[in-house]
Chain A
Amino acid sequence: MTKTVAVWLCLALSAAALSAQTPTPGRYQAPVVSDTGGLKGPRQPIFFRHDIHAGQDQIPCMYCHATVAVASEPGIPALQTCIGCHQLISGSTPSHQAEIKKVRDAWRERKAPEWTRIHALPGFVRFPHQRHIKALGTQACTKCHGDVQTMPQVYQVSTLRMGWCVSCHQQNKVSRDCTVCHY
């Protein structure tokens, strides 16, 4: 059931992706990255471009990070999710094709890529994503993660330190009780 939905969505999106080859005005256009070394943020095993997926193709964050609104964890998309689309989409430029090939190889070899973690909280902090999405809306990801849809390579924008959490809770007049996050 969910799978079929996924497939249809993929088709739709791939169509979008293809049409994206011809730039339409008013739509964000991901830059061509020649020097990946110069990019901010840690280098990932596969050069996954959030700016293309989320920005240019406008795939909603929750398509891949599906559980963010229902669970404390947003979830890292399973390789199946990537393959869902990239069975059909093999990329326009050679550099893109090279990266997408990595995904397909990984799928063939049944070996998931080891992403380098960017946003990490210490073990004694509980951050229920669902509560924050509920309160701030599904578009609120950028509040903490920054404009990921324009990042060729994702990097950490917010400090994720307690002071940062508290200031936001203070502004929004929500509880700053310790055991909301620490237990």
Chain B
Amino acid sequence: MADGMTRVTYDYVTRTIARTLGNPGRGYFLLLGAAVALLAIGIVTLLFLLRYGLGLAGYSHPVYWAVFITCFVFWVGIAHSGTLISAILFLFRSGWRTAVYRTAEAMTVFAVMTAGLFPLIHIGRQWYFYWLIPYPNERGLWPNFKSPLIWDEFAIGTYFTVSTVFLIMGLIPDIAAVRDLATGWRKKLYTLCSVGWRGTNEEWRHYTRGYLYLAALATPLVLSVHSVVSWDFAMAIVPGWHATIFAPYFVAGAIYSGCAMVITLLVPIRKLFQLEELITVKHFENLSKLCLLTGSIVGYAYVCEYFIAWFSGNPTERAAFWYRAFGPYWWATWTMLICNAFLPLLLWVKKIRTNLTALFVISIFVNIGMWFERYVIIVVSLAGEPHTPWTNAVYNPTWADWGIMAGSFGWFFMWFLLFVKNFPAVSIAEVKEVLAPPKRVAAKGGAHA
């Protein structure tokens, strides 16, 4: 570690990170191609949906929300850890965040961009989506502010704006740095984005203040956004949705899935861009500790749900949760439980925690598990709605559901890949901040570790 640090000088950092912007290799293009292909699938599916109607998807009375909303919640969840890492850990002054927060933040922005698409895709008359937006009109009609969907709209909107601004702001000094190395069209682009940053003391003073305030501003969003999303369900009277635990439960879950996704993304990037020196095992360990914490909260929430269902003595609640665990969807429920509650317990073991391959695999499973968590909450609760058992139905997704879902992944990864190749995926400035100033390397080196 220590000697590792010694080699990591300011100059090294700049060069290493600048290198990541160099000409991409075949591997990169393969990944990008795959992403675009997935996106294409999604677009074609969407065209079909627009022409023929949502009937193409698997919906079946009474399951009127399904894969689309599942994906929506999934992506909003993914978004969360970004802000957590970049904003909250920034306020807590935890040094290790510097190497990873840029990636996390980019992930946040693109995840929200992805999530935002689903409400538009899943409504019956997509061409009237703007009726959900309050705007003065001759009919004197406004959206219904009692409806959680409207709250959602605002929550997501705010989150998107703030996290985007936050990302761009953090980028300014770095872009300025790479601007000075870049040539051609990139030079132009960076010059534009770096808004004439010169790195003077004045600039730095204002910049750090601004960044701090923005961080403070972004922090509450981490808690608020997913709470609001959770109210889409908690406000409804569907057994399995109508629970006070939902807000904290969802926030924890969101951060959990987010951290998992950060790991999933960082491991290959680190390899691809040879950032081993900057993004060290320590970083991953910290991330996995975060996973361990949030994961345990989620696991606890599961236990609570079932306990309360039993303890409440409410027959419909009991029926709903029995249906979850032992009904036709038992497989979804158990996938969720194993991936989210049991598998991550392996992270207690330091050996596993520090083994990137293992970490990568686990993170993938957590992602799957978190997707199924939403699937269980949404689809299974509706399918087995115990109030009117007469209407219970079994729901099966169709090609349309999968097509849109694939498209969403394509959309997300396309943006992400484009980003990491064109902007510093690791914050140059902030990594330097936590480095020992060049002169006193030997003296401070050990102490620092």
Physical contact A–B (CB less than 8 Å): yes
A161 to B139, CA, bound (A): 9
Contact with B along A155-182 (1 / 0, CB 8 A): 0000001111010000000000000000
- Chain B residues positioned under 8 Å from A163 (CB to CB): 137-140
Binding site for A on B (CB under 8 A): 137-140
Q: Chain A contacts of B140 at CB under 8 A? A: 163, 166
- Nearest CB of A to B135, in Å: 14
Count class of interface residues, chain A: under 10
Query: Residues of A with Cβ closer than 8 Å to B?
Result: 161-164, 166
Report Cα–Cα, A168/B37, bound state, in Å: 54
Q: Is the interface of B mostly helix, strand, loop or mixed?
A: loop
State the CA gap A166–B140 with chains docked (Å). Answer: 8
* B131 CB to nearest chain A CB (Å): 13
Closest residue of B by beta carbon distance from A170 = B140
Would you give the shortest CB distance from A162 to chain B, in whole angstroms?
5
Q: Which residue of A lies closest to B138 (CB)?
A: A163
Instruction: Looking at the assembled complex, report how far the CB atom of A16 sits from the nearest CB atom of chain B, in whole angstroms.
Output: 43
Bound complex: CA of A73 vs CA of B137, how far in Å?
Answer: 29
| Shortest Cβ gap from A168 to chain B (Å) | 12
Closest to B141 in A: A162
Contacts of A164 in B (CB 8 A): 138
Chain B residues, CB < 8 A from A166: 138-140
Looking across the interface, which residue of chain B has its beta carbon closest to that of A176?
B140
Q: B139 — nearest CB in chain A belongs to which residue? A: A162
Q: Which residue of chain B lies nearest to A162 when distances are taken between CB atoms in the complex? A: B139
Quote the shortest CB–CB distance from A48 to chain B (angstroms). 33
CB of B127, distance to nearest CB on chain A (Å) = 16
A164 to B139, CA, bound (A): 8
Per CB-CB distance, the 7 closest pairs between chain A and chain B, nearest first, are A163-B138, A162-B139, A163-B139, A166-B140, A166-B139, A161-B138, A162-B138
Complex CA distance for A162 and B137, rounded to whole angstroms: 10
Q: A161-B138, A163-B139 are known; give 9 further A-B pairs, CB within 8 A.
A: A162-B138, A162-B139, A163-B137, A163-B138, A163-B140, A164-B138, A166-B138, A166-B139, A166-B140
11 A-B Cβ contacts within 8 A? A161-B138, A162-B138, A162-B139, A163-B137, A163-B138, A163-B139, A163-B140, A164-B138, A166-B138, A166-B139, A166-B140
List the A side residues contacting B138 at CB < 8 Å.
161-164, 166
- Bound-state CA distance A161–B141 (Å) is 14
Q: A99–B138 Cα gap in the complex (Å)?
A: 41
Nearest Cβ in chain A — how far from B178, in angstroms? 54
Instruction: Give A161 to B140 CA distance when docked, in angstroms.
Output: 12
In Å, the complex CA distance between A163 and B140 comes to: 7
List residues of chain A with CB within 8 A of the CB of B137.
163
Tell me how far the C-beta of B140 lies from the nearest C-beta in chain A, rounded to whole angstroms: 6
Which residues of chain B are near A162, meaning CB under 8 Å?
138-139
A148 to B137, CA, bound (A): 30
**Measured between alpha carbons, how far is A108 from B49 in the docked complex, in Å?**
53
Nearest CB of A to B143, in Å:
15
Least Cβ–Cβ distance between B144 and chain A, in angstroms: 13
The distance in angstroms between the C-alpha atoms of A137 and B329, with both chains bound, is: 64
CB-nearest residue of chain B to A165: B139
